[in-house]
Amino acid sequence: MIPKAWQVLKSTVLVDRRPWIYLNEQDVVLPNGIRIEGYLTWEEREYALVVALTKDGIPLVQQYKHGLQSSSLDLPGGYLNANEKPLAAAQRELLEETGLAADDWIHLASLVLDNNRGPAQTHIFLARDARVMGPPCPDEKEDLAISFYTWVQLQNMVDKGQINSLPTVAALLMALQQLDGAQERSLWRSSHDPSF
């Protein structure tokens, strides 16, 4: 049996800073009659992440994240522009942040960031045979350092908490699952990663 929806009694916009965030406060009644006042929901920008397979490994970008007030290692990616399709955003962000491009793209998933608060999604892509097209050209608000890693290195970094972004970890696991047992997985073995 499908659970019944909550009934919204009152809805008040608290913050409207679209496209960044749209914060709403609601008074709701649950199907069992329990009332919740001041339940917060929000809409935020969706973004794309890319697991790019290159001859040098998988690129991660390191940059300062103000929400953490520290630097973070993440997959290349970024926000979708208005009316931009997720794949177009993934391709644009990979090129901007790393200078890489690929012809072979697989959509791995579109995952909801916080299903208690809103419908925003992270769109995850695998880019195979990525190659350098030129130097990275991030926008003026980005200060990035790019490094390439093997699967073993990435696993160790996740285990040690050096990669702590849930979307990045999920994307890496989904990419590895996509490649697991597939013929192309053997193409990514290297002397740097003998246990792959």
Find out whether 177 and 151 touch, Cβ atoms under 8 Å: no
Find out whether 65 and 82 touch, Cβ atoms under 8 Å: no
Residue 47 CA to residue 155 CA, distance in Å, equals 24
Closest CA to 119 of 4, 22, 14, 1: 22
Among residues of the chain, what percentage have pLDDT more than 90? 80
Find out whether 175 and 182 touch, Cβ atoms under 8 Å: no
Closest CA to 101 of 142, 133, 66, 145: 133
Residue 119 CA to residue 140 CA, distance in Å, equals 29
Counts for the chain of helices (H) and strands (E), in that order: 3, 12
Length of the chain: 196
pLDDT above 50 for 193: no
Residue ranges per structural domain of the chain: 7-44, 47-187
Tell me if residue 73 falls in helix, strand or coil.
strand
Closest CA to 108 of 60, 149, 52, 158: 52
Residue 123 CA to residue 136 CA, distance in Å, equals 22
Structure confidence at residue 181 as a pLDDT band (50, 70, 90)? low
Structure confidence at residue 141 as a pLDDT band (50, 70, 90)? confident
Strand-pair category, 21-29 with 35-44: antiparallel
Strand-pair category, 70-74 with 77-79: unpaired
81-132 residue pLDDT tens: 999 999 999 999 999 999 999 999 999 999 998 999 999 999 999 999 999 9
Q: How far is CA 166 from the centre of its chain?
A: 8
Q: What's the CATH number for 47-187?
A: 3.90.79.10
